[in-house]
């Protein structure tokens, strides 16, 4: 936001110019440096006083935006004055300098007040804009989460089918994209099909998705472990099984330095409800695995 050219600012600038420069050549030099046109200054006759010249100049400058900008530039230049060379070597130099200093100080104080008002208004507008953007993000988030939940609910009739499996896979990576979690879609590595991967908080997880009617069992866990063991040391695995896990599967996934965390539909709906971000859910289960060796933490025990 630009500073405002007010009648008071114009008056203070006028006075500061008048008090700071007494010799014609010094005033002319200042006005030229302030981009007053030389053609205008050429009209300054020898019998016309400084005040008469300024009385002609300022109304012309006020009439256009460019002229107003020039006044503001003058005001800034004048307010930065610390000494007054043109006021030296006069019989009443001391008085002239005092009057010039007073005029410049009043201008400087006014500009400072105006700057603070502009800054406060800018900060207020920026705060309003941030709040507006935050509301829009929240609204978008609620809308998109609602769509994600509707799509997942609509897939329930396809649990256990190949078509449903492909839809669930696409849905899951849409979820990761929505959460801005770095991910890679399904790919093959060494002849093995990898359902994809996600990277969160510096750890890359191989993803295994199960959209079956039956709970995932120990063979599913062993298969994911085998894939993870072929990867770099910082690689873990995350399985998402819509039907949950058998006790044997949970036991096989767990253990000292387990490389797996396992999630079920409850974790997905915890995110969709808005209770937790999906990244926070991954972190919570990972932390539990690090502390206990248990790869599975049901949502009912998140507060425990």
Q: Is residue 18 located within the same domain as residue 116?
A: yes
Q: Is residue 24 located within the same domain as residue 104?
A: yes
Rounded distance between C-alpha atoms, residue 149 and residue 58, angstroms: 67
Query: Final residue of a domain: which of 93, 121, 149?
Result: 121
pLDDT, tens digit (0-9, with 9 covering 90-100), for 34-51: 999 999 999 999 999 999
**CATH, residue 197:** 3.40.1350.10
User: pLDDT at position 143, please?
Assistant: 60
| Inside any domain, residue 127 | no
| Inside any domain, residue 64 | yes
Q: Is residue 188 located within the same domain as residue 294?
A: yes
pTM for the predicted model, two decimal places: 0.55
Q: Is residue 187 located within the same domain as residue 294?
A: yes
Radius of gyration of the chain (CA): 37
Lowest mean pLDDT among 55-59, 78-82, 134-138: 134-138
Tally of domains within the chain: 2
For residue 169, the enclosing domain spans 159-301
| Inside any domain, residue 149 | no
User: pLDDT at position 8, please?
Assistant: 92
Averaged pLDDT score across all residues of the chain: 90
Burial 208-227 (b: 16+ CB within 10 A, else e): bbbbbeebbbbebbeebbeb
Reported confidence tier of residue 1, pLDDT bands at 50, 70, 90: very low
Q: Is residue 175 located within the same domain as residue 269?
A: yes
């Amino acid at each position: 936001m630009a500073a405002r050219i007010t009648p008071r600012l114009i008056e203070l600038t006028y006075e500061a110019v008048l008090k700071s420069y007494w010799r014609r050549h010094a005033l002319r030099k200042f006005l030229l440096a302030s981009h007053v046109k030389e053609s205008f200054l050429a009209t300054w006759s020898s019998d016309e006083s400084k005040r008469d010249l300024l009385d002609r100049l300022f109304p012309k400058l006020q009439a256009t935006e460019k002229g107003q900008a020039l006044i503001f530039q003058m005001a800034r230049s004048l307010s930065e004055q610390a000494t007054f060379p043109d006021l030296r070597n006069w019989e009443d130099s001391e008085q002239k300098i005092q009057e010039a200093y007073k005029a410049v100080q009043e201008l400087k104080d006014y500009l400072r007040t105006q700057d603070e008002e502009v800054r406060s208004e800018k900060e207020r507008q920026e705060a309003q804009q941030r709040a507006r953007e935050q509301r829009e993000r929240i609204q978008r988030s609620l809308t998109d989460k609602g769509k994600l939940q509707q799509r997942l609910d609509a897939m329930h009739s396809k649990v256990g089918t190949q078509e449903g499996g492909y839809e669930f896979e696409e849905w899951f990576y849409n979820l990761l994209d929505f959460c801005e979690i770095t991910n890679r879609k399904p790919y093959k590595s060494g002849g093995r099909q990898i359902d994809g991967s996600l990277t969160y908080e510096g750890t890359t997880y191989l993803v295994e998705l199960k959209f079956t009617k039956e709970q995932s069992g120990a063979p599913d866990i062993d298969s994911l472990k085998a894939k993870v063991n072929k990867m770099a040391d910082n690689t873990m695995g995350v399985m998402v099984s819509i039907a949950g896990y058998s006790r044997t599967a949970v036991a096989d996934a767990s253990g000292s330095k387990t490389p797996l965390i396992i999630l079920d539909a409850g974790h997905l709906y915890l995110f969709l409800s808005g209770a937790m971000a999906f990244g926070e859910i991954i972190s919570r289960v990972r932390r539990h695995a690090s502390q206990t060796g248990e790869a599975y933490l049901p949502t009912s025990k998140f507060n425990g």
